[in-house]
Amino acid sequence: MKLSDLILSNYKLLSVFNRFDINLGFGEKTIFDICSQKQITPEFFILVCNIYSFEDYLPNNKNLLDINPKELINFLRKTHYYFLKESLSEIENDLDELCEHCEDNHLVILKKFFIDYRKEVINHFEYEENIVFPYIENINKLGFNTDYNIHIFEDNHSNIEDKLSDLKNIIIKYLPETCSSKKRSILLEKLFCFQDELIIHSRIEEKILIPLVSEIEKHIND
Amino acid sequence: MINKKYRVLIIEPSTIIYQGLKYVLEKSPNFSVIGYLRDIQFLPQRLPQLKADIIIVNPNLFGFHKRQNISNIFQDLGSFYLIGLSYAYSNEEVNSNFSAIIGILDDGPKIINTITNVVTSEKNIEKQEQSDLSDREKEILISIAKGMQNKEIADQHNISIHTVISHRKNISKKTGIKSVSGLTIYALLNNLINKDEFV
């Protein structure tokens, strides 16, 4: 399949391409062309595209075990980076724009809500990048010599989508009518997109990363 | 009178209790028991497919610490009435997760009655759903925005923790806002509290 056809069939894959360092302007290149050029496992690339395109898509057990955990973690790290540097900073800019043009000083509090939320997201990602991912990358070396296991992560994996819904509701329903509708719509669209992406991202962590590592742990213990 | 057939799901480890409960419920034309789960594994995957209107669950299936928050666990999995099934003594805080509790010593008519009350009384709440917060809910919201815990709110307003929790649920349902900080902003924007009270 041609890369261009992928994007034309689901434009949301644009953000996925970004995370695989695939730049636009690829002409007629196919999935396999680009995968060998960028050293991506084609099956993994296709898996990610499927997850982003179909709400309930999950790999079967055999395909799950074929995933290289390092490649998956690499993708998740890139996604975190994208969320923080792109999605959240764009949302912040739009929120500032909105606040600037509204007199209501309550908007300062809205900004505070956002900043607190971003802290939460950063903490969430830092835990994964500093504790969970290194554990997985070294799992073969560590073997029994660690108290950590993936179920600790599973139990502690917090939900960072809910507060976005709160923010959406406040902006849709409760900011006064005097606040620019246009600026609100721009911000809302970004919030919706970001939330969709977060949901997919958590699905990858919960339905793919955790089961995969859990299987690997079983083999180590055998 | 109800003119709907409610789909009931039972989550209970004992087959005997399940069969008994099914027998009792299906004496009423309003309930059909659509399924039976013996454990709570994979709830998030299984529940949405079953499309239950009423879930009767034995709280003992949940670990001790999770028991206090059963309603939160179910909240994200769909909208249904949650009813607790109690073998013997169960504590108040656990019970407050449920719209009602049925005991295994209750007789058939009592069980039917309990569940019927839940679906009919909460219907009224559904009707109010579009409307603004009631005065009582606004008072509770102010307390929440001030950072008070459920227990403190209950004491201040002379109501049970159970009532506080159900007010909180309705406030979140109406506003679409779950977090305390989000509710605080709601309270500020609606002039229920002013900025100085908010630390």
Distance between CA atoms of residues B118 and B99, nearest Å: 6
> pLDDT tens digits, residue range A198-222?
999 999 999 999 999 988 888 876 6
Across the interface, do A113 and B182 touch by the CB < 8 Å criterion? yes
Convert the pLDDT of each residue in A130-148 to its tens digit: 999 999 988 877 766 677 8
- Tell me the average confidence (pLDDT) per consecutive run of 10 residues in chain B, 199 residues long: 81 92 90 88 80 89 79 78 84 82 90 89 55 86 90 90 90 90 89 73
Nearest CA in chain B to A116: B181
Size of interface A-B (CB pairs under 8 A): 51
Mean pLDDT of A56-60: 85
Residues B189, A162: C-beta atoms closer than 8 Å: no
| Across A166-191, average pLDDT | 91
Q: List chain A residues with CB under 8 Å of B186.
A: 170, 174
pLDDT for the residue numbered B128: 47
Q: Work out the minimum CA distance from A44 to partner chain B, whole angstroms.
A: 24
Average pLDDT of span A151-157: 85
Query: Model confidence over A65-90: pLDDT tens digits?
Result: 899 999 999 999 999 999 999 999 99
Q: DSSP assignment, residue A201?
A: H
* Closest residue in B to A173 (Cα–Cα): B175
* Contact with chain B for residue A163, Cβ under 8 A: yes
Q: Which of B175, B184, B195 sits opposite A169 (nearest CB)?
A: B175
Distance from the B127 Cα atom to the nearest Cα atom in chain A, whole angstroms: 20
Residues 6+ apart with CB under 8 A from B154: B160, B161, B163, B164
Angle between the B161-175 and B150-157 helix axes, to the nearest 10 degrees?
A: 110
Q: How far apart are CA A206 and CA A212, in angstroms?
A: 10
String of DSSP letters for chain B = ---SPEEEEEE-S-HHHHHHHHHHHTTSTTEEEEEEESS-TTHHHHHHHH--SEEEE-GGGS-TTGGGGHHHHHHTT---EEEEEESS---HHHHTTSSEEEETTS-HHHHHHHHHHHHHHHHHHHHHTTS---HHHHHHHHHHHTT--HHHHHHHHT--HHHHHHHHHHHHHHH---SHHHHHHHHHHTTSS-GGG--
Q: Do A166 and B190 touch (CB under 8 A)?
A: no
* Cβ-based contacts of B190 with chain A (< 8 Å): 174
Best residue of B46, B49, B69, B189 to probe chain A, by most A CBs closer than 10 Å:
B189
Q: What is the pLDDT of residue B64?
A: 76
Q: What is the pLDDT of residues A85-125, one digit of tens each?
A: 999 999 999 999 888 877 667 778 888 899 999 999 999 99
Encoded tokens for A79:
């996604």
| pLDDT given for residue B54 in this prediction | 92
Q: Which DSSP string do the residues of A81-126 spell out, in sequence order?
A: HHIIIIIHHHHHHHHHHHHHT---THHHHHHHHHHHHHHHHHHHHH
